[in-house]
Amino acid sequence: RGDVAAAHAAAAAATAANVVPEIAITLSLGYLVASFVAFWWGASHPRSAAATFLRSPLPLVPLCVAYLALLCASWSPDTLSLMMPGSLAEGLATGQPQFFPRLDGIMTLLSRRVTAASAWLHIACINFFVGRFAATRAAELRMPVAHTLLLTAVTGPIGLLSHWITQELHRARVRRRKATTASE
């Protein structure tokens, strides 16, 4: 009877290992999209509840907690050696640097379901932070942000670049208006 219970427990654990990452990715994507809509609305309507959501650091907490949970679940005895291969003793003895990540090790790590899900949440947290930053600045400067949030939802760094470019164009336009108004 103990063997049957152990087999059922192992089957349940295997099912959870497959289902939990899928659920985490689906929920985090929905949360990211809903948050970015709230960021856009909050930047456009500074007195709304969405603006309060935008200004608060608390909306990042659910993604961070989910990321931490999946990161812990994805950790295995070989994780560190795959991320940073090498030997400290060999590096010191030969003068050759060690512990540089190698693409093969990264590919091995990301081929693991839970690790890939934790990597997705890592990226989602970064994109969320960039989107919140851009929307907060857009609200302060009263500049457009929808295009930046769309780009940031897909890829944070390009969204951040979009934000910087938009910010500089907005500042240049404000300077031109002030110069035109002052000369009249």
Each domain of the chain, given as residue ranges in start order, spans 2-76+112-183, 79-106
Distance of CA 58 to the CA centre of its chain: 15
Secondary-structure percent of the chain, ordered helix, strand, coil, rounded to 5: 85, 0, 15
SS3 of residue 66 by DSSP: helix
What pTM value is reported for the model?
0.78
Distance of CA 154 to the CA centre of its chain: 10
Q: What is the pLDDT along the chain (184 residues), one digit of tens a residue?
A: 677 776 666 666 666 667 778 888 888 888 888 889 999 999 998 889 988 988 898 888 998 899 998 888 888 888 888 888 877 777 778 877 777 778 898 899 999 989 999 999 999 999 999 999 999 999 999 999 999 999 999 899 999 999 999 999 999 999 998 888 887 7
Which residue carries 């939990």 as its tokens?
A: 20
| Cα end-to-end distance, the chain, whole Å | 92
